[in-house]
């Protein structure tokens, strides 16, 4: 099955992230039912954070990208992806996560450059 093949690829430590991400995207193409976020999660578990981020770029569903980005402590990227998605619930989820994880100053510095997120936060 394609998922197993791709998971095996992400575990190859000697391969550069860029070439593995490209190989996985070529293999999966537009295959229905395949989740890039699942493969990215496996890459992250194997200590390949940058590869996981590259694989998430192929994931079309923001709702699948954002939770893993938060888990990987890539909160800025998670915030950007949630805003790009246009899904206010997803943006609010990230804002709430950031509020709980950051000190007050860092939290507001992060939102300062994200008017959509700041606006959502102020509405609550």
Q: What angle do CA 60, 63, 68 make, to 5 degrees?
A: 95
Residue range 86-120, pLDDT digits in tens: 999 999 999 999 999 999 999 999 999 899 999 98
Position 124 pLDDT exceeds 90 = no
Whether the CB-CB separation of 97 and 111 falls below 8 Å is answered with: no
Residue range 30-86, pLDDT digits in tens: 666 678 898 899 899 989 999 999 999 988 889 999 999 999 999 999 999 999 999
User: Rounded to an integer, what is the distance from CA 93 to the centroid of its chain?
Assistant: 14
Lowest mean pLDDT among 5-14, 15-24, 76-85: 5-14
């Amino acid at each position: 099955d394609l998922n197993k093949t791709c998971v095996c690829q992400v575990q190859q430590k000697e391969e550069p992230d860029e070439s593995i991400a490209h190989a996985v995207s070529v293999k999966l193409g537009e295959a229905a039912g395949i989740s890039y976020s699942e493969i990215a999660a496996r890459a992250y578990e194997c200590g390949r954070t940058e590869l996981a981020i590259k694989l998430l770029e192929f994931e079309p569903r923001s709702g699948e990208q954002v939770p893993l980005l938060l888990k990987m402590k890539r909160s800025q990227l998670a915030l950007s992806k949630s805003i790009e998605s246009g899904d206010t619930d997803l943006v609010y989820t990230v804002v709430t996560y950031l509020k709980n994880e950051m000190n007050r100053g860092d939290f507001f510095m992060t939102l300062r450059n994200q008017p959509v997120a700041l606006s959502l936060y102020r509405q609550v």
